[in-house]
Amino acid sequence: MADNRGVVYLGNGEVDVQDISYPDLVLRDGPGVPKENVGRKCEHGVIIKNIVTNICGSDQHMVRGRTTAPEGMVLGHEITGEIVEVGRDVEFLKKGDIVSVPFNVACGRCKMCRRQDTHICLNVNPARPGGAYGYVDMGGWVGGQSEYVMVPYADFQLLKFPDKDQAMDKILDLTMLSDIFPTGYHGAVNAGVTTGSTVYVAGAGPVGLAAAHSAQLLGAAVVIVGDLKEERLKQARSFGCETINLQDHDDVGEQIEQILGVPEVDCGIDAVGFEAYGHGTNHEDAPAAVLNTMMDVVEAGGKYGMPGLYVTDDPGAKDKDSQQGSLKVRFGLGWSKAHSITTGQTPAMKYHRQLMNAILNEKADIANVVNATVISLDEAPQGYKEFDDGAAKKFVIDPHGTLSK
């Protein structure tokens, strides 16, 4: 029996569960690890036994071949688990603590971390600002869709749950703190959602649903969700959202007008990103579709957040410009309407404690909102296939069978 197993990207749309190295407090050489990070000592880190670890839409971008991710990389950046080993320099955490791991790898020391911009930490990735677990061009930190994983800078990064029994009771909600709940919330905050807002959310995947729920928590009067998949739209309606089926309708403003009486909203949230499809089509690539829709339907002076992922290199794109991350956006329209746009990954630490409190005090129902669905580690490849087909589920991997005991 191997000491550790994890979900490994094989290329060509395939993943497999394989034996991988048991982690230690050093970043070893491996697929996607920059040479400058090889051998990096992490006595400030911990080893975590994963209780739950999730499949994310961002993982799907790599698996579909829409990034430059290397084969052999261990996937996964949504990690929640129990500390089983503590590094020499860790002061405030101990074995047995149950913690949430923000998907951003962040040092806590640099200029960006000190101003809470942990998504663009300057010290964890030689290639560019910002690091993440199990993700292309993000520093080579080994992914957490596995039985065990190493997490550096533990005292700074980890969110310890105050009560272990309470944490286990709410684990399907708390697992969303590592990424999609803060990411959806960040999109809503950046869009300026407040009491009485009307909001358009593009995309009814897990991040879009989390953004819609976040908009509700922030006091939105009406949240409208658009998607091509009726199953996902049904999930959005289950917690009070209005919906637009974009396969049936290509004019979003017209559909918004039928709901609100006017063809525009106060603010918008792009939860789709660069793998957008054309409205009114059967999944035809149109990578700028969401951005151009936002410029059309968000009112003058409005804002939109962009938690959806955009990349610098997309080898699977159909045209040369899109392959380099250059999209045909109606920027002049956005400029003329004085729109404010916020881009970039989410600094998960900025929100995870307050969202934890919302969960523990029954103010947020995120597991039901995203339809959290538990699978075993061996079922992860099938989970990837179902998610890629548009299943209205957030797949939560239970590597040790903890939730079935």
* Digit-coded pLDDT (tens) for 254-277: 999 999 999 999 999 999 999 999
pLDDT for 1 beyond 60: no
* Digit-coded pLDDT (tens) for 224-233: 999 999 999 9
Residue 166, both tokens: 């309470």
Give the distance between the most distant pair of CA atoms in the chain.
62
Q: What is the pLDDT averaged over residues 228-256?
A: 96
Q: CA angle at residue 302 from 189 to 338, to 5 degrees?
A: 130
- Average pLDDT over the chain reads 96
H helix or E strand, kind and range, residue 99: strand 98-101
| Between 358 and 323, the higher pLDDT residue | 358
CATH number of 5-179+347-404: 3.90.180.10
- The sign one gets for the Cα dihedral 371, 375, 380, 383 is negative
A 10 A CB-CB count for 217 gives 18
5-179+347-404 with 182-342: one CATH topology?
no
* Digit-coded pLDDT (tens) for 359-399: 999 999 999 999 999 999 999 999 999 999 999 999 999 99
Give the pTM. 0.96
Using alpha carbons, select from 277, 267, 263, 136 the residue that is nearest to residue 205.
277
Q: Can you spell out the DSSP letters for 146-208?
A: BSEEEESSHHHH-EE-S-HHHHHHTHHHHGGGGTHHHHHHHHHHHTT--TT-EEEEE--SHHH
H helix or E strand, kind and range, residue 258: helix 252-260
Q: What gap in Å lies between CA 364 and CA 370, rounded to an integer? A: 12
Using alpha carbons, select from 207, 181, 111, 113 the residue that is nearest to residue 152.
113
Q: What is the pLDDT averaged over residues 199-226?
A: 98
Collapsing DSSP to helix, strand or coil, 184 comes out as helix
- The sign one gets for the Cα dihedral 21, 22, 27, 28 is negative
- Cβ(87)–Cβ(25) below 8 Å: yes
* Digit-coded pLDDT (tens) for 89-125: 999 999 999 999 999 999 999 999 999 999 999 999 9
- Cβ(104)–Cβ(119) below 8 Å: yes
- The third-level CATH classification (topology) of the domain covering 182-342 is Rossmann fold (3.40.50)
Domain boundaries, the chain: 5-179+347-404, 182-342
Position 83, amino acid: I
> Could you give phi then psi for residue 368, rounded to 5 degrees?
-70, -35
Whole-number pLDDT of residue 2:
64
Buried b (16+ CB within 10 A) or exposed e, 297-306: bbbeebbbbb
